[in-house]
């Protein structure tokens, strides 16, 4: 390592420490305050059940809830690839989740966010295989939405 690289490294370390960088999952990080403190509204559909399960896995099941979360899901499927015989062989599954975090003590809205993503699956000549691929795509979509909601909450936890 050249002397220039060592000097740069030695000067950069204090600057990084002074910038306020703090690990989210470290002791005292923003994830610590949210774990087990969010009660997600009961699911009403299979998609919302999968989403709530993923959120509880990431944020912990509410033991002493401080916040309540309601999530509105919108899922739509669009044909993506059409074969020569005019059959759709690939589908995109688009998902949007609008969620509201409210203080359970005052029922006041403290944060609102929207996340969206997509996944895809291939249709086959076998209906059972297509149905299994569609279910898997739906589960993957709910996992991705839960990841995005969790990330958004952790990034913005200082706002509530």
* Distance, CA of 128 to CA of 17 (rounded, Å): 55
Q: Does domain 22-156 have CATH number 3.30.160.150?
A: yes
**pLDDT tens digits, one per residue of 73-112:** 999 999 887 777 777 889 999 999 999 999 999 999 999 9
Give the residue among 96, 69, 95, 91 at the shortest CA–CA distance from 80.
91
Global pTM? Answer: 0.80
pLDDT tens across 122-133, in order? 998 899 999 999
Closest among 55, 68, 60 to 145, alpha carbons compared: 55
- The residue ranges of every structural domain in the chain are 22-156
More confident residue, 51 or 28: 51
């Amino acid at each position: 390592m050249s002397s220039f690289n060592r000097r740069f490294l030695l000067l950069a370390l204090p600057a990084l420490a002074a910038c306020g960088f703090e690990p989210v999952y470290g002791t005292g990080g923003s994830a610590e305050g949210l774990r087990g403190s969010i009660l997600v509204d009961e699911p009403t559909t299979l998609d919302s059940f999968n989403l709530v399960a993923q959120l509880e896995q990431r944020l912990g099941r509410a033991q002493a809830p401080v916040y309540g979360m309601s999530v509105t899901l919108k899922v739509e499927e669009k044909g993506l690839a059409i074969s020569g015989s005019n059959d759709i062989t690939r589908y995109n599954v688009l998902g949007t989740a609008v969620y509201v975090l409210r203080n359970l003590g005052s029922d006041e809205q403290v944060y609102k966010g929207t996340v969206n993503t997509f996944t895809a699956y291939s249709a086959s000549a076998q209906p059972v295989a297509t149905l299994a691929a569609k279910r898997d795509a739906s589960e993957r979509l709910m996992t991705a939405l839960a990841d995005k909601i969790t990330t958004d909450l952790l990034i913005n936890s200082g706002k509530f």
